[in-house]
Structure 1
């Protein structure tokens, strides 16, 4: 599972609307829908309840959203730390 897929999941969870999420991400809605379905299949859980063209997060989706946000924040921080270290702005950790 890629960081991109996780970021896309977070946007869908924030929008709770596949078309608006796709617009925000600048990708086609069918591609985003397929990506979310693949993520659900990989995890073996349903992340969104789909009823009357409306999305809501399931309990599993809520739990996954919380941890995914934390993981993405850590990944972003790791990139910044590496860049700062490469520029000499941050010392090495031993």
Structure 2
């Protein structure tokens, strides 16, 4: 694997800053694992519908694993509330 060039590092940093800025304005999903899972499901369904030539397979797989992790987090939160 090639090392990341300085230009690429700057692009990545800009993307991260943009994502953090957008996320800071997203109060709908803030601290709501259930809403995050629901939205992830909608996004995945959209990707499945537009999955010509299986171009979205990697992203769909990633969303599956994120959703699975969110479900585990949700279960842990419920368990901690019950204690």
Query: If the TM-score is normalised by the length of the shorter chain, which range does it land in?
Result: 0.3 to 0.5
TM-score (norm 2): 0.45
Say which structure is richer in helix.
2
